[in-house]
Chains A and B, each alone.
Chain A
């Protein structure tokens, strides 16, 4: 598919389409460009009334402000720990669960599937109240655990549903063959099924990473007094006061918060598209 298009299209039509695509790509990328640009602009240029789409005097001032603010590096690390733990744990747990509901037949299987589907549409922000009390009772308030556990749980239903397709796509014949060869169930699971489903796991891990990295509501609600356990979005909100916005600081903090996700994305981009295609196909 590299040199051709999907459809045989006439040349001028194709050129017009390509021009449109490039313009749209530029428009879509512009906010991110503006964010990074403003992070590097000196304070005078940001607060000026002529918004220039370039800067001749890039400065690290805003970044300095962002990092000098207490414990910003700590917040970054916290976000990373929480997101990383959730991604790994949810991949493993969802894989097991998806395997269970796809490759086995047992009572309540369909009920469980429906429950997983229904669980996805729960507005999790509304659960902040009961979750707060739950965390309090288990002494998890002001710990990273109070962020890891809910995000882990909330990422499972979607991951399980997404992985179903992948798990289902592994033919039964393969499984039969493995058992005939004398493999135990566990061996089949981890040494054959897991690698085959891996692209799907990558796709779902992207979702869990993003939703955990993004979260600010739970951090704001569960981590009150021990701010060393807070995550990045809290650091960002410090600069965001309605009247006297430190736009340079906000953009610098936003850049620092967005870059890891973008890097993660670019790395898994190919897998992601094929992964989604796979999930959608069967």
Chain B
């Protein structure tokens, strides 16, 4: 046909050109920095928390002190939403010209960001920093990849069980001491008070779900030599998944509402009085205090399988890192020290309840504020981490685990099938990362 003939020739030419021109692929971003200016404007991206104002105040103070002691340097801080942080930060890596100088990032992203060529190696400066000597070893590990340091820890975060003292008193229930009791208590509360969720759970709340899996002895992945192999579909892990997903339903937290919720949403539900219990972090303290349930709640560690045990919590935390592409490296490192120094961390704790990453500061914080107790206990009982593979960032960003939970909760797949699929996806990611 004449028509296709007219298209065929140019099309063929295109294809041929394409196949022979691998060298014409988009260049890799040049993330190396262009100099180390000692004056100018530093740009910082920090996470926006639920109830962000107190954090802003502390940051503003640290920034003011920094600007005063560094002539000619100005700081611009921007607060970015947490759930779209991955795209924004990746975009910054893609275009170094538009990237900030400092970013706040979750400690699960460290390995991935290093592999993506985004973070600067600050091992030297970190070693020379006297405050850094008191850094808690787990926190230090969260900024270390292959022996080099790529940031400074900002805070440690663990989660525990927030519960409504008034509701439990009214129904004459004790705070749950085992995983099974937690589930039955939640369902009981919802039965007695149908307009309250027993325990607010979220289908997209990965870090709230993990303790259920870990408590049963399951693991996310096992290290096999150089790489990892997913263990999310092992028998023990499946038991944990079943326990968690049993909390979704009309007997506790209706799937229609709760399948899409993430961590922030469950905390907000608790703070606004819509849930009797929630799994929240020490960092949620300020938000809950500012909510409708002030004075009517308490915190205990999330119970494990055995009565009286504590479920292993996820050792979360955020760090502040200098971008490799920053053109103000020395200044940026100084600002980083100012933002993550002992003084600022103590203030952050007072304002937001973020647990400091220095052993001495953490101790004095625990003495000052009793609410820290359950969290410190949880930390002490043994907190776990995600596989320290650069693939984890991608697994998190492609929502492998939330998809798994949502498939089970919505009835599309059973626990076995969903966990098998999730394991396959994780293994593919691990294999690609190498």
Contact = CB atoms under 8 A, between A and B. Distances in A.
Interface of A: 110-111, 114, 118, 130, 132-133, 136-137, 139, 141-142, 221, 224-227, 241-244
B92 A225 contact: yes
B43 interface: yes
A136 B6 contact: no
Contacts of A141: 95, 97-98
A225 B6 contact: no
Tell me the dominant secondary structure on chain B's binding face.
Answer: helix
A241 B88 CA distance: 17
A224 B92 contact: yes
20 contacts: A114-B3, A114-B6, A130-B26, A132-B94, A133-B27, A136-B95, A142-B95, A224-B92, A224-B95, A224-B98, A225-B43, A225-B92, A225-B99, A227-B78, A241-B81, A242-B265, A243-B260, A243-B264, A243-B268, A244-B265
Interface residues of B, number: 24
Given A110-B6, A224-B88, A242-B260, A136 B43 contact: no
Contacts, number: 49
Nearest to B260: A242
Contacts of A132: 94
A111 B78 CA distance: 50
B100 interface: yes
Of all A-B residue pairs in the complex, the 3 with the closest CB atoms, nearest first, are A133-B26, A243-B265, A225-B98
A271 B92 CA distance: 45
B6 A111 contact: yes
Interface in B1-47: 3, 6-7, 10, 26-27, 29, 43
B235 interface: no
Contacts of A130: 26
B91 interface: yes
A242 B265 CA distance: 9
A142 B96 CA distance: 12
A114 B6 CA distance: 9
Nearest to B264: A243
B412 to A, nearest CB: 20
A130 B94 CA distance: 12
Contacts of B10: 111
Contacts of B95: 136, 141-142, 224
Contacts of B100: 225
Given A114-B3, A133-B26, A141-B98, A221 B91 contact: yes
B94 A136 contact: yes
A136 B325 CA distance: 15
A217 to B, nearest CB: 12
B261 interface: yes
Contacts of B7: 111, 114, 118
